[in-house]
Amino acid sequence: MKRPFKSFLAPLFEEFILSRQAAGQWCKTYYENLHYFDNYIADKYPTADIITDEMTSWCNPRPTENGNSCRVRTTVIWNFIDYARKRKWTKSRSKRNSASVPSSYLPHYFTREELVSFFHECDIYFMKLSLRQRSLHALLNRLELPVFFRLLLSSGMRTCEVRWLKCRNVDLKNGVVEIEKSKGAGQHRIALHQSMLAILKKYNVAMSELMPRREYFFPDRNDNVHTPAWEGYHFRNIWYRLNTEAARAYDLRSHYAVTNITKWEDHGYELSGKLLFLSRSMGHKSIQSTYGYFHITPMLTDKLKRNTENSFNNVLPQLSDDENEE
């Protein structure tokens, strides 16, 4: 059941949510953070009837926050304030901090042996689990997760982009995926490798028999989008059965980028065209985000450092938390 908002802003929040949903720019994280803000307003300003600057102090950075966690928590609030100003509901101004903070997390670079072992364990584990539990939930995991993780590795898509995929976004005839909803550069297309396309075709046949009229390509049992916890929990469960080093499902995207960059050593030093193509396919807002992957590509990092010693740090920014997050 849908949770009602409690503060005087409730009807304004509802209108704001509808507008964002219509634009395809809404997610569960926004919904949760807007409720936290609503609880704060209801508790601290029970008799208020207008939005003031004082109320947005909830968006101030907290001592326990690091990296971009404050920005993630408050983005939906500032989006609401911008929306409210346009409709003359308030004179308060957005005070968001949009600067990206360098990430301290270094994505794991998978060895071939690690990937082979991971996918073998993934296939076997969910097969056995579905035979033991014999539920729709277990059967969906058996069909979806091995394909979900392989698609991350082969395409470089964000985990949220794969979870948000609808069946209409996946052209199995021409081998093209259209990203309609993303945290990056908005709509873009990805060409599938032939081996991945073959896997997706077999997967879709099985899913069409199980859920004939499903909307989402990787649905939960109610044909809704899976939560980030779904992919995170199951990745860790499989990964730590075999390994002790830290890794995340999102690192499969980083592996895609680094693998592509590493191949360029044999193609001369003309990187601009390849970088631009990789940047667009990964949905980056700017090519600067793609440059960040050179920091985790030792071979090309050393090569570029030899050639551009003086400006090396300016040319290659570190990956930001924005890129390391969904």
Which residues contact residue 92 at a Cβ distance below 8 angstroms, ignoring those fewer than 6 apart?
Answer: 51, 52, 53, 55, 56, 81, 84, 85
Joined tokens for residue 254: 């980083």
- 124 with 227, same domain: the answer is yes
**Residue range 2-45, pLDDT digits in tens:** 789 999 999 999 999 999 988 878 888 899 999 999 999 999 99
- 255 with 210, same domain: the answer is no
- 124 with 213, same domain: the answer is yes
Average pLDDT, stretch 85-99? Answer: 80
- Please indicate, yes or no, if residue 100 is contained in any of the structural domains: no
Distances (CA, A) of 285 to 63, 144, 272, 315: 30, 29, 16, 17
- 61 with 123, same domain: the answer is no
Taking the C-alpha atoms of residue 254 and residue 244, their distance in angstroms, rounded to an integer, is 19
**Residue range 167-206, pLDDT digits in tens:** 999 999 999 999 887 664 467 888 999 999 999 999 999 9
Which of 35, 51, 86 delimits the end of a domain? 86
- Please indicate, yes or no, if residue 49 is contained in any of the structural domains: yes
Taking the C-alpha atoms of residue 251 and residue 125, their distance in angstroms, rounded to an integer, is 21
Position 312 pLDDT exceeds 50:
no
For residue 191, the surrounding DSSP H or E stretch is strand 188-191
- 174 with 295, same domain: the answer is no
State the Cα torsion 237-170-113-271 to the nearest 10°. -120
- Please indicate, yes or no, if residue 102 is contained in any of the structural domains: no
- 230 with 256, same domain: the answer is no
pTM above 0.75, yes or no: no
- Please indicate, yes or no, if residue 95 is contained in any of the structural domains: no
- Please indicate, yes or no, if residue 256 is contained in any of the structural domains: yes
Give the domain range for residue 297: 251-324
- 158 with 230, same domain: the answer is yes
Quickly list H helices, 179-293: 194-210, 228-242, 251-263, 272-281, 287-291
- Smallest CA-to-CA distance from 162 within 208, 210, 219 is with 219
Taking the C-alpha atoms of residue 191 and residue 305, their distance in angstroms, rounded to an integer, is 32
- Please indicate, yes or no, if residue 94 is contained in any of the structural domains: no
**Residue range 113-142, pLDDT digits in tens:** 999 999 999 999 999 999 998 899 999 999
Average pLDDT, stretch 252-276? Answer: 71
